[in-house]
């Protein structure tokens, strides 16, 4: 669709919007959130669907969603267990039929008020419009430092452009949805995939809101896991750097052994030398274990991929 068409299409309220919302233990938020969301969608278009993906909630989230009025146009996908937000979003994208999809959190942290700007930017011709957090003030300092470090590494060792502060709050054109659906990989790092696929994109600044109810499920361990997935799925540098390290160490070893040979021939052997031996053994042992560990990270991921297991298992579907 050309740019002029997009504007007209928006104004005539004909655009088919899919809103994709992953929910996990959000019983306190769903009623209010979906009510607000559908009010907004109704005001901008005549055709929409809300795809709620229940990521194995253990509270009354599913029951509350099913009980919502039919004219909210909610389609529910209930996973058989918790598969994680990345997989929930993947399922949403695979099941949506809109011309555009909007990905949102159910905890009100992504402001609905900013969606008209997203739609306008789409009409201007951008295929991907994403929210860029103005600040991370409501996160702990450790988490902030960790994030900063992660983005620094990612931008240094991968070729993809990964803006810090951009998350899953996005509007995607059908072209982008189809591109994302063509990825077969199971260990998913959505932020990396958005960067990898390209397309015309535009950032929109927004203030992160406080979570209305419930609490964030992203503990340190989960974030660390996501960070390792991100790095290992988009860069092979950690894997290849060891060849270089090995080369440098060999060069030093060669120089040292020549020096040692000459020294021994000229002056004979003096026995003391325990510290240097122990340092060399420990240093090399450490480096070898580290490199094997990193090798293991990649092999573990290959292992997950070759098993070809389904990405998720759906327990219930409602509204389709």
Q: Which of residues 206-235 bind ligand UDP (CB under 6 A)?
A: 211, 216-218
Size of the site for Mg ion (CB under 5 A): 3
What is the residue whose two structure tokens read 């809103």? 19
Provide the 3-class DSSP secondary structure of residue 185: coil
Please choose which of Mg ion, ligand UDP, none residue 131 contacts, taking the beta carbon within 5 to 8 angstroms, the exact cut-off set by kind: none
- Which residue in the set 18, 25, 57, 109 belongs to the binding site for Mg ion (CB under 5 A)? 109
Please choose which of ligand UDP, Mg ion, none residue 92 contacts, taking the beta carbon within 5 to 8 angstroms, the exact cut-off set by kind: none
To the nearest whole angstrom, how small is the minimum distance from the Cβ of residue 34 to Mg ion? 16
Q: Which of residues 72-91 bind ligand UDP (CB under 6 A)?
A: 82, 84-85, 88
- Which residue in the set 26, 27, 127, 173 belongs to the binding site for ligand UDP (CB under 6 A)? 26
**What would the two tokens of residue 160 be?**
């993809």
**What would the two tokens of residue 310 be?**
């389904």
* End-to-end C-alpha distance for the chain, whole angstroms: 27
Nearest to 91 by CA among 121, 130, 52: 52
Which CB atom, from 61 or from 235, has the smaller least distance to ligand UDP? 61
**How many Å apart are CA 54 and CA 84, to the nearest integer?**
10
Residue pair 55/26 in contact by the 8 Å Cβ criterion: no
To the nearest whole angstrom, how small is the minimum distance from the Cβ of residue 105 to ligand UDP? 4
To the nearest whole angstrom, how small is the minimum distance from the Cβ of residue 169 to Mg ion? 10
What does the chain come to in residues? 320
Nearest to 201 by CA among 117, 126, 96, 278: 126
Under the binding rule (CB under 5 A), the answer on residue 107 touching Mg ion is: yes
**What would the two tokens of residue 301 be?**
């991921």
**How many Å apart are CA 84 and CA 156, to the nearest integer?**
27
Return the residue nearest ligand UDP (CB atom).
Answer: 216
User: Residues interacting with ligand UDP, by CB under 6 A?
Assistant: 22-24, 26, 55, 82, 84-85, 88, 105-107, 109, 211, 216-218
């Amino acid at each position: 669709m050309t740019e002029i068409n997009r504007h007209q299409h928006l104004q005539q309220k004909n655009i088919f919007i899919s809103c994709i919302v992953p929910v996990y233990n959000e019983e306190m938020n769903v009623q209010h959130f979906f009510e607000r969301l559908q009010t907004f969608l109704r005001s901008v278009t005549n055709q929409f669907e809300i795809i709620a993906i229940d990521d194995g909630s253990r509270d009354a989230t599913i029951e509350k969603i099913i009980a919502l009025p039919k004219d909210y146009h909610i389609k529910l996908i209930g996973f058989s267990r918790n598969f994680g937000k990345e997989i929930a979003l993947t399922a949403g994208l695979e099941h949506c039929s809109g011309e555009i999809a909007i990905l949102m959190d159910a905890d009100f942290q992504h402001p609905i008020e900013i969606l008209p700007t997203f739609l306008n930017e789409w009409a201007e011709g951008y295929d991907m419009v994403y929210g860029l957090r103005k600040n991370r003030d409501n996160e702990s300092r450790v988490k902030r430092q960790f994030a900063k470090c992660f983005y620094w590494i990612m931008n240094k060792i991968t070729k993809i452009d990964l803006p810090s502060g951009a998350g899953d709050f996005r509007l995607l054109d059908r072209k982008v949805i189809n591109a994302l659906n063509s990825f077969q990989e199971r260990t998913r790092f959505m932020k990396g995939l958005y960067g990898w696929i390209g397309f015309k994109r535009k950032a929109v600044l927004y203030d992160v809101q406080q979570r209305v109810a419930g609490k964030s499920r992203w503990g340190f361990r989960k974030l660390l896991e996501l960070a390792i997935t991100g790095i290992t799925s988009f860069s092979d540098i950690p894997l290849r750097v060891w060849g270089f390290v090995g080369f440098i160490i060999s060069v030093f070893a060669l120089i040292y052994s020549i020096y040692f040979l000459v020294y021994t021939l000229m002056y004979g052997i003096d026995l003391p030398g325990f510290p240097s031996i122990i340092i060399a053994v420990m240093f090399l042992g450490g480096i070898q274990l580290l490199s094997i560990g990193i090798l293991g990270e990649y092999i573990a991921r290959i292992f997950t991929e070759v098993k070809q297991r389904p990405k998720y298992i759906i327990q219930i579907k409602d509204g389709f």
